[in-house]
Structure 1
Amino acid sequence: MVEAVTIQEQQVRFLPLNGQPFDLESTLFSGQVFRWRKQEVWYEGVIFGRIVRVREVEGGIAFATADEDVDESPSRLRDYFSLDLDLGEVYSTLSRDEDLRESLDRYRGMRILRQDPWETTLSFLCAQNSNVLRITRNVEDMCRSFGRPVSFGGNTRHTYPTPDALVAAGEQALRDLGLGYRARYIVSAAERVARGEIDLMALRDASYDDALEALMILEGVGDKVANCIMLFCMDKPQAFPVDTHIRQILRERYPRSRRVKSSDIRRVRAWAQEYFAPFAGYANHYLFHSRRVQGRS
């Protein structure tokens, strides 16, 4: 739980939404990011190497953070929440599908974040054969153990560990945190990034196919994890992660998808990318989140 803190009014700034729909709760707790916490009306996360607190207000987002880079914070937060994307265009395109329309209406304003590529890769290496609660615990333990401490408003948390920090820590230290076999994948990825063998940030500008090929060189990264990484941090709206939930949804709601063998993830993904083009990733995330919420109710 977030410690009780007092945020002075002069620390709070405003980021206008300019009429764009926005659902902060669904955006932050839909399974694409794992370090946000809620306390009363504020949500607290560690992004840009510092603690940031945000909440919805009329016409925009109120936010508070440390005073470093005061002028840069609004533009960085706008980029993080992908506020440059016109959700109206996404909804107009995807609403032609009646099965999807219900999820679009229910979670209207849920946005796909534009996260840091290294942090996203690290998170989804932890996500294999796991669930949101366990991923959140694994990521937070790793940050607390090997990240840099940052403070704001009387609270201290930790940044994501750098590749070098994880290489120095080694596989056994990660296993001791309960990461199991994922520890090997994390250290292997950290070594490749630290040696400059892969430039994750540069993959934002790469084509979908080139980014997919580059990511799948990393040990432990298959088609699903690669598509998660591309969707949540690399500006690839056509990325379509296929897991058990998505396979089940497609078979239940989309008879034409049954022509593709459900165990063939790449063919299932290719079918969905064509059917939901050009915003297959948004279709995926709204369907995924809707199923997760239904499963909890």
Structure 2
Amino acid sequence: MEYMVDSNNIIINRLCDFDIEHILECGQCFRFYKKSDKDYIIVAYDKILRITQDKDEIVFHNIDEEDFNSIWIKYFDLERDYTSIKKILSDKDEHLHRAVTEKDGIRILQQDTWETLISFIISQNKSISHIKKLIEDISKRYGTYIGEEDEIKFYSFPTIEQLSQATEQDLRDLKVGFRAPYIADACRKVINDEVNLSRLADMNIADAKNELMKIKGVGPKVADCVLLFGAKRYEVFPTDVWVKRIMEHYYFENDTKIKVIHEFAVEHYGTLAGFAQQYLFYYARDFKIGKK
């Protein structure tokens, strides 16, 4: 991948398999803010990034090469060959072929594991807009001020130590509802090393899932999301009610057990199951396939 530096901007031309709207709007992350079409502000790894895209030109605004190379190349998974991934998945079946063709700009972000854990605990039974607001409110209350963009103040996502200062009542006051004890339990178990987030990338996948499910309120779906988006475990296939309906629509009868869907995903998609899930989910969500 080649890029050029223009003043304080990093510019990439002719980058394949990258659509900033597909990447941010497909449900994998929550700290992004849409300014206009293909123009977003992102907060990640204690940094603020404005990124714009015009056809095949992608501009990373007001950043230096050091941050681009050490943070954003990894974050956007820019060194992975998505053309090959899409070819393999497209050849699996007609459903994936349509999804990959329609949503061809998705890349799976490499997010911070701790932030991903808390974000997906919060995400349960919430709309995207409400999830984003709760995460922003928690960051303002417990994170660290990191700067402004368009006269809006931004804060880092709180560290484990910072968020551990919050009581369950403090969290309830921020309107997280029944998730308050789940967040508090995650703080206790991670800070006490009862749950080891740093080992998730290397553990047997079943053990990694069980490690996360030691935390109150973390079931298989949340655990799979944390593993996929926060620990680079691309063999998992997060399945909520909507994904279950999508799979039933394409591959199964109604009322198929999630265990059967997972077994199918492992066999059919293999180590690319997480990528397949993102293409199918985003495509189906846009076309309201599986929605009741």
TM-score by length of 1: 0.87
Please name the residue that 1:241 is paired with: 238
Deviation at 1:197, TM superposition (A): 2.4
Deviation at 1:27, TM superposition (A): 0.3
Question: Is the contact made by 1:126 and 1:179 (CA closer than 8 Å) also made in structure 2?
Answer: yes
Aligned equivalent of 1:88, options 63, 83, 89? 83
Matched, 1:99 2:95: yes
Matched, 1:199 2:192: no
Question: Is the contact made by 1:204 and 1:234 (CA closer than 8 Å) also made in structure 2?
Answer: yes
Deviation at 1:64, TM superposition (A): 2.8
Q: Percent identity?
A: 33
Matched, 1:162 2:155: no
Matched, 1:285 2:278: yes
Deviation readout 1:206-239 (Å, 9 max, x if unpaired): 3322211211111111111111111112111111
Alpha-carbon separation, structure 1, partners of 2:202 and 2:188: 23
**CA 1:95–1:253 in 2, change beyond 3 Å: closer, same or farther?**
same
Question: Is the contact made by 1:66 and 1:152 (CA closer than 8 Å) also made in structure 2?
Answer: no
Matched, 1:111 2:107: yes
Matched, 1:269 2:262: yes
Please name the residue that 1:222 is paired with: 219
Counterpart residue type for residue 87 of structure 2: S
Deviation at 1:185, TM superposition (A): 0.4
Alpha-carbon separation, structure 2, partners of 1:81 and 1:184: 32
Counterpart residue type for residue 165 of structure 2: A
Deviation at 1:168, TM superposition (A): 1.2
Counterpart residue type for residue 29 of structure 2: V
Deviation readout 1:68-124 (Å, 9 max, x if unpaired): xx5243232111011222111211111121011111111112111110000100100
Alpha-carbon separation, structure 1, partners of 2:208 and 2:117: 13
Counterpart residue type for residue 148 of structure 1: T
The within-5 A match list for 1:42-53 is 42-53=39-50
Question: Is the contact made by 1:273 and 1:280 (CA closer than 8 Å) also made in structure 2?
Answer: yes
Counterpart residue type for residue 78 of structure 1: I
Question: Is the contact made by 2:110 and 2:232 (CA closer than 8 Å) also made in structure 1?
Answer: yes
Deviation at 1:266, TM superposition (A): 3.1
Alpha-carbon separation, structure 2, partners of 1:115 and 1:15: 21
Aligned equivalent of 1:79, options 70, 74, 79? 74
**CA 1:279–1:230 in 2, change beyond 3 Å: closer, same or farther?**
same
Deviation at 1:54, TM superposition (A): 1.3
Say what the alpha-carbon RMSD is for the aligned residues.
2.3
- Which blocks of at least 5 consecutive residues in structure 2 are unaligned? 1-5
Counterpart residue type for residue 246 of structure 2: I
3-state SS of paired residue (2:18):
coil
3-state SS of paired residue (2:270):
coil
Question: Is the contact made by 2:9 and 2:63 (CA closer than 8 Å) also made in structure 1?
Answer: no
Matched, 1:136 2:129: no
**CA 1:15–1:218 in 2, change beyond 3 Å: closer, same or farther?**
farther
Deviation at 1:245, TM superposition (A): 1.2
**CA 1:65–1:161 in 2, change beyond 3 Å: closer, same or farther?**
farther
3-state SS of paired residue (1:71):
helix
- Which blocks of at least 5 consecutive residues in structure 1 are unaligned? 1-8
Aligned equivalent of 2:59, options 41, 59, 62? 62
Deviation at 1:37, TM superposition (A): 0.7
Deviation at 1:188, TM superposition (A): 0.7
3-state SS of paired residue (1:242):
coil
3-state SS of paired residue (1:227):
helix
TM-score by length of 2: 0.89
Deviation readout 1:37-81 (Å, 9 max, x if unpaired): 1213531111121211112256553213566xx524323211101
Matched, 1:28 2:6: no
My pick for the range that moved more, 265-274 or 229-238, is 265-274
Question: Is the contact made by 1:15 and 1:74 (CA closer than 8 Å) also made in structure 2?
Answer: no
